[in-house]
Amino acid sequence: MSDDYEYRGLIAEAWDLLRGDTSAWPDRAFYRALIDRRGGPVLDVGCGTGRLLLDYLADGVDIDGVDNSPDMLDLCRRRAAELSLDVAGRLFEQTMDRLDLSRTYGVILVPSSSFQLLTDPDAADAALRRFLTHLEPGGVLVISIMSKVWPGRRTPAHLQWTDWFKIAEKARPSDGLVIRRWTRAMYDLDAQLEHEENRYQLLDGETVVREELHARSPALRWYSQAQAQAALQRAGFGEVSATSGFTFDLAAPEDTTFCVIGARLT
């Protein structure tokens, strides 16, 4: 693997802490319902620290995970050990566009808008082709997408950095030190790309004892519903649709969070 991966250092260390309790997030029940409809095995792409993977595995789902961050996978293994879950042979360090695993799956999940981290269109198309290859005939791919330009909200300035703002802050249970995250973004409205900088601080009181700046330019690409569905169709998926949020209802034109679903027909 290349050293060019984003989720490292304080980003990885603070990931679960700053997200907090995710047990009521609506995607959890939606993906599980899809798995129950289609059946496994399942691949969680961008599995990170195992938010979905470990819960599903504890529930008896045959599920593997892939992520390009060794830091996040190490945290996933640590969480699995704490939960007495065996993830040996289930976690793989690979990128989406070069996915090369030894088994095929009934369901492939790409949750948390992880697909949008592929900002190069050729890499995104390559990833979709790799997903198709790793599906069983009749298998289903589901990708969550979030638009960065929302109808009814002020359109962000084109190619201008926002001000820095504090997005999260929480004390670390192990030692009481506080992890604080600051972020700012810049939007290329024509190319549908977001550029992002994040500053993570570890504080003892108000004294910063460690600080990391993480910049990714561009950080992610957003898609319209039509663009996302067309991308799956180009890759060879059939029965392509977009659903509203994390439901099985067809997406409405105004939905800015949606899932795109496609099947391998042969």
pTM: 0.94
pLDDT of residue 148: 77
Which of 51, 52, 68 is closest to 8 using CA atoms? 68
How are strands ordered across the β-sheet holding 91-93?
A: 91-93, 63-67, 42-45, 105-110, 135-146, 257-263, 238-244
pLDDT of residue 4: 66
Using 70 as the pLDDT threshold, list the residues of the chain that sit under it.
Answer: 1-4, 150-152
> Domain extents for the chain?
9-147+223-263, 165-220
pLDDT of residue 114: 96
β-sheet bridge partners, residue 261:
142, 241
**Residue 34: what residue type?**
L
Q: How many CB atoms lie within 10 A of CB 184?
A: 16
What tokens appear for 15 in the block? 């990931």
**Residue 158: what residue type?**
H
Collect all residues with Cβ–Cβ distance below 8 Å to 232 and sequence separation of at least 6.
Answer: 128, 141, 240, 260, 262
- Tell me the C-alpha to C-alpha distance, in Å, between residue 212 and each of 13, 71, 219, 255: 12, 15, 17, 35
Which of 97, 28, 26, 107 is closest to 65 using CA atoms? 107
pLDDT of residue 44: 98
pLDDT of residue 2: 44
DSSP for the chain? Answer: --S--SS-HHHHHHHHHHH---TT-HHHHHHHHHHHHH---EEEET-TTTTTHHHHHHTT--EEEEES-HHHHHHHHHHHHHTT---TTTEEE--GGG---SS-EEEEEE-TTGGGG--SHHHHHHHHHHHHHTEEEEEEEEEEEE-SS-TTSPPPPBT-PPPPEEEEEEE-TTT--EEEEEEEEEEETTTTEEEEEEEEEEEETTEEEEEEEEEEEEEEE---HHHHHHHHHHHT-EEEEEEETTSSSBPPTT-SEEEEEEE---
9-147+223-263 topology per CATH: Rossmann fold (3.40.50)
